[in-house]
Amino acid sequence: MIFRQLFDKDTSTYTYLIADEKTKEAAIIDPVREQVDRDVKLLEDLGLNLKYAIETHIHADHVTGGGSLRQVLSDTKLVVNAASEADCADVLINDGDVLKVGDIEIKALYTPGHTNTCTSYQVDDMLFTGDTLLIGGCGRTDFQAGDAGQLYDSIQEKLFSQPDSTRVYPGHDYNGLTMTTIGEEKANNPRLGNSKPKDDFVALMDGLKLDMPKRIKESVPGNMKCGLAA
Amino acid sequence: MIFRQLFDKDTSTYTYLIADEKTKEAAIIDPVREQVDRDVKLLEDLGLNLKYAIETHIHADHVTGGGSLRQVLSDTKLVVNAASEADCADVLINDGDVLKVGDIEIKALYTPGHTNTCTSYQVDDMLFTGDTLLIGGCGRTDFQAGDAGQLYDSIQEKLFSQPDSTRVYPGHDYNGLTMTTIGEEKANNPRLGNSKPKDDFVALMDGLKLDMPKRIKESVPGNMKCGLAA
């Protein structure tokens, strides 16, 4: 398997490239519009064919590169959770659905709570958690149908139920960390680790007084159009 | 093996953590002074003992965190290439020397050219190339005893001689890429790939008219003191 983690410094967003070395089929998770030229060049350099551009959710902090990638690489199918009802997407994905990239299986785990469209993806022992589970943190729950109790359940039931050695690749990190493991987050995550009770988590999340993301007014409608102008 | 790539956004510097899962011995390559608290916390969270803080060279663009790490974690030995004559270091390393972290062997490959202290490190099928070989690029050769012809020879003889599948982890990337392979760089590196002749490379490097790094006046003397005040 070819695997690359990519970073957008401006929004601290991680994008992931996953490809089958034999068939050259590839998927990209959470591409960023401003990085599409970089991503297309990388695909070309590696001789890969982009089959899927996959969103972990409708983002509020950056605009997806999915639509632009499909314009350049016309075989690409855009994948977004079904709850988004984003009619620009080619695949509206549901919990348990599996996407295939060559012999690689990418399994969707519906993990709402940060937003109602949040989906984590599992590939072997790797979890791509979007903004559901971050390194030493989690996504906020105060817009886009976010719900702290639901986020707690998603993380406990769908993610913390995985083996401790499972590698976790998040949608962002703001401190220069690139990955974590389920075991580390269960032990050390200050919001959720050490068997924090649900009520305490909900109270913590509901008590956060955060400014709105700078780009939310551009990003959410932009992402509902897969990053393409209406 | 525990392996973590870490990023300093301000200087686009990559730091690497390598550790033996059984013995809990760890090494860190190219720590950044401003990130020492993050790195100490990560070592603690993972239950690791830092045995070595290793420099790929005397950096001109950031100050090392090596000295600060040794102040906090007193078992840590600082490793710098012997050509630096940095008397703050515990190990002055030479080509072919091997450091052991548990069962993991970290082999020094002297790769001068960007500076006269540049050392790449090999761990299994991974190469930590510092600023010698970058993703689609290489370090500049116009200060700190840099030499374009020597850089060409270092890359061709010590790095491009490795198997194509060898994973390359550089000291920086400014485009959000995190790694490459020897095969990709041999094929695609615009400065060195596709069997570029030495004379062409030297002419290209000698023709670059680059501004001095912003922090060179602070960084080089600071790094000769392992990041500690004189």
Distances, alpha carbon A59 to alpha carbons A33, A80, A98, in Å: 12, 11, 22
Best A7, A41, A188 residue to mutate vs chain B (most B CBs within 10 Å): A7
A30 is catalytic: no
Count: domains in chain B: 1
Residue A23 and residue B68: Cα distance in Å, rounded? 48
pTM to 2 decimal places: 0.96
Interchain pair A178, B177: CB under 8 A: no
pLDDT digits (tens, 9 = 90+) for B74-95: 999 999 999 999 999 999 999 9
In a domain, A229, yes or no: no
Mean pLDDT along residues A133-151? 96
pLDDT digits (tens, 9 = 90+) for A14-31: 999 999 999 999 999 999
- What are the DSSP calls for A152-165, one per residue? HHIIIIIITTS-TT
Nearest to A79 by CA among A105, A44, A117, A43: A117
Residue B137 and residue B12: Cα distance in Å, rounded? 15
Catalytic residue among A20, A59, A147, A173: A59
pLDDT at residue number B66: 97
Interchain pair A6, B178: CB under 8 A: yes
Residue A121 and residue A99: Cα distance in Å, rounded? 10
Domain harbouring B30, CATH code: 3.60.15.10
From A7, A45, A177, residue closest to B178, measured CB to CB = A7
pLDDT at residue number B190: 96
Q: Nearest CA of chain B to the CA of A143: how many Å? A: 28
B7 backbone dihedrals φ, ψ, rounded to 5°: -130, 135
pLDDT at residue number A229: 74
User: Is the CB of residue A116 less than 8 Å from the CB of residue A145?
Assistant: yes
In a domain, A228, yes or no: no
Catalytic residue among A8, A20, A172, A173: A172
User: Is the CB of residue A168 less than 8 Å from the CB of residue A5?
Assistant: no
pLDDT at residue number B31: 98
In a domain, A224, yes or no: no
Contacts of A180 in chain B (CB under 8 A): none
Residue B28 and residue B54: Cα distance in Å, rounded? 6
Query: What's the 3-state SS for B20-62?
Result: CCCCCEEEEECCEHHHHHHHHHHHHHCCCEEEEEECCCCCCCC
Residue B193's H or E segment, with its range, is: none
pLDDT at residue B192 above 70?
yes
Name the pLDDT band for A108 (thresholds 50, 70, 90): very high
Catalytic residue among A61, A97, A124, A153: A61
User: Is the CB of residue A114 less than 8 Å from the CB of residue A151?
Assistant: yes
pLDDT at residue number B69: 98
In a domain, B153, yes or no: yes
pLDDT at residue number A27: 98
Interchain pair B9, A12: CB under 8 A: yes
Range of the domain at B182: 2-209
Q: What is the DSSP letter of B227?
A: T
pLDDT at residue number B229: 74
Closest alpha carbon within chain A to B42: A177
Write down the ipTM of this complex.
0.95
The rounded percent of chain A whose pLDDT value lies above 90 is: 96
pLDDT at residue B230 above 60?
no
Exposure letters B24-46 (e unless 16+ CB within 10 A, then b) = bbbbbbbbbbbbbebbbebbeeb
pLDDT at residue A198 above 80?
yes
Contact partners, residue B113, CB within 8 Å, separation at least 6: B132, B139, B141, B146, B147, B148, B149, B150, B151, B152, B153, B154, B155
Best A39, A46, A165, A168 residue to mutate vs chain B (most B CBs within 10 Å): A46
In a domain, B218, yes or no: no
Partner A contacted by B126 (CB < 8 A) = no
pLDDT digits (tens, 9 = 90+) for A28-64: 999 999 999 999 999 999 999 999 999 999 999 999 9
Q: Nearest CA of chain B to the CA of A178: how many Å? A: 6
Contacts of A41 in chain B (CB under 8 A): none
Interchain pair A38, B176: CB under 8 A: yes
Q: Nearest CA of chain B to the CA of A68: how many Å? A: 19
Q: Which of residues 164-193 of B touch A (CB under 8 A)?
A: 175-179, 184, 187-188
Residue B6 and residue A86: Cα distance in Å, rounded? 35
Closest alpha carbon within chain A to B21: A165
A199 is catalytic: no
pLDDT at residue number B8: 98
In a domain, B51, yes or no: yes
User: Is the CB of residue A65 less than 8 Å from the CB of residue A124?
Assistant: no
Partner B contacted by A38 (CB < 8 A) = yes
Residue A177's H or E segment, with its range, is: none
In a domain, A186, yes or no: yes
Interchain pair B178, A179: CB under 8 A: no
In a domain, B229, yes or no: no
pLDDT at residue number A66: 97
Catalytic residue among A8, A30, A39, A62: A62
Contacts of A10 in chain B (CB under 8 A): none
User: Is the CB of residue B86 less than 8 Å from the CB of residue B58?
Assistant: yes
Q: Which of residues 13-32 of B touch A (CB under 8 A)?
A: 15
Q: Which of A96-100, B15-19, B76-80, B192-196 has the lowest mean pLDDT?
A: B192-196
